Amino acid sequence: MTGITVRVPAKLNLQLAVGPPRADGYHGLVTVFHAVSLFDQVTVEPADRDGVTVTGEGADRVPAGPDNLAMRAIAALRTAVPEAGPVHVTIAKRIPVAAGLAGGSADAAAALIACNELWTARLSQQQLVAIGATVGSDVAFALLGGTAVGRGRGEQLTPALAPATRYHWVLAFADGQLSTPAVYAALDRLRESEAQTVAEPDLDAALMSALRSGNAARVGQRLSNDLQPAAVSLFPALRKTLTAGLELGALGALVAGSGPTCVFLAASAERALELAVSLTGAGVCRSVARVSGPVPGAAVVP
């Protein structure tokens, strides 16, 4: 039997509201996820024993054993498909590692879709979402795609009914990485040092209304990320990148998730191209990519 290949998108958080730390170490969130056209590709094939090969962007920094999130997702799926055989997984990465774009969760989601198909297990999307959520907070959204509101750890999803507007984004990849737990811990420290009372997170109604209207300028004004001050405190160069993008005409700017990627919204595909060229010229990031969204979640490549 031949392999199954799945393409899976990176995510942005158009809003990321973070509550106080919970007893289990996670933080309660309200977030607006948005899947964009930067894809990893994951192929699974029957093999004599389990294995994983990673190629592409940042491949040397991805664990190539059972700690790999795709392998962990497959191990979790096997509990529901006991007769499943060993597989070799090949991950072709374009989503940078530890960049705030949920690349690891994306690979886990892709592995679930691919093995569900390979093993003709016929688990529903709902079942895959439940299994994915045990592997990482962003896996459920990588299965769903589009634009969706996430609650809980981010794994409880409600699709957002947005019009068919296509948003044009420029991603500025940083020369370095940030660890997600370290950024959450820095946020807790910042809030403690400023003696902030941390409210339960709330969905930004103005952002949702802007998304419903399909007006990119309004969406740009409502982008927000509670993790941004923490990410900038750990990676001060990001401040310069964000300022440069806004000065170069972006409709809005923010750090992607826990960073360090910076995200800029452009008014059109042409503006995104101009912005990407200018940001490269300004020397405020390692490299840039133009993407658009929303795009669908993980899906088998025909």
Q: Does 115 bind ligand C5P (CB under 6 A)?
A: no
Q: Whole-number minimum distance, CB 21 to ligand C5P, in Å?
A: 7
Single out the residue of 100, 103, 154, 294 in contact with ligand C5P (rule: CB under 6 A): 154
Nearest Cα to 103, choosing from 49, 168, 173?
Answer: 173
E strand or H helix at 6? strand 4-21
12 within 8 A of 211, measured Cβ to Cβ: no
- The residue to which tokens 């490549």 are assigned: 301
Comparison of 29 and 35: residue with beta carbon closer to ligand C5P: 29
Q: How would you classify the pairing of strands 27-46 and 147-152?
A: antiparallel
Q: How would you classify the pairing of strands 27-46 and 87-93?
A: antiparallel
- Distance, C-alpha 153 to centroid of its chain: 14
Comparison of 149 and 273: residue with beta carbon closer to ligand C5P: 149
Structure tokens belonging to residue 85: 């055989």
Single out the residue of 7, 11, 34, 153 in contact with ligand C5P (rule: CB under 6 A): 153
Q: Whole-number minimum distance, CB 69 to ligand C5P, in Å?
A: 8
- Long-range contacts made by residues 82-87, C-beta under 8 angstroms, separation at least 24? 83/119, 84/115, 84/119, 84/121, 85/46, 85/119, 86/46, 86/47, 86/48, 86/49, 86/50, 87/44, 87/45, 87/46, 87/47, 87/50, 87/115, 87/118
Please confirm, yes or no, whether 11 is among the known catalytic residues.
Answer: yes
Local structure of 138: helix, strand or coil: coil
Please confirm, yes or no, whether 93 is among the known catalytic residues.
Answer: no
* 278 vs 273: CA distance, rounded Å: 9
Which of 40, 107, 138, 204 is flagged as catalytic?
A: 138
**Given the rule CB under 6 A, which of 84-92, 119-127, 131-139, 239-247 is the region that contacts ligand C5P?**
131-139
* Binding mask of the shown chain, residues 177 to 216, with x at each position contacting ligand C5P by CB under 6 A: ---xx--x--------------------------------
* Binding mask of the shown chain, residues 161 to 180, with x at each position contacting ligand C5P by CB under 6 A: -------------------x
Which of 11, 93, 107, 226 is flagged as catalytic?
A: 11
Site for ligand C5P in 4-43 (CB under 6 A): 25-27, 29
Q: Whole-number minimum distance, CB 50 to ligand C5P, in Å?
A: 21
Structure tokens belonging to residue 212: 């419903």
Q: Whole-number minimum distance, CB 45 to ligand C5P, in Å?
A: 27
CA angle, corner 166, sides to 129 and 290, nearest 5? 90
237-247 vs 269-282: helix axis angle to the nearest 10? 140
Q: Whole-number minimum distance, CB 269 to ligand C5P, in Å?
A: 31
Comparison of 71 and 272: residue with beta carbon closer to ligand C5P: 71
Comparison of 111 and 266: residue with beta carbon closer to ligand C5P: 111
Total residues binding ligand C5P (CB under 6 A): 12
Q: Whole-number minimum distance, CB 227 to ligand C5P, in Å?
A: 10
Interface residue list for ligand C5P (CB under 6 A): 25-27, 29, 136-138, 153-154, 180-181, 184
Task: Tell me which residues are annotated as active site.
Answer: 11, 138
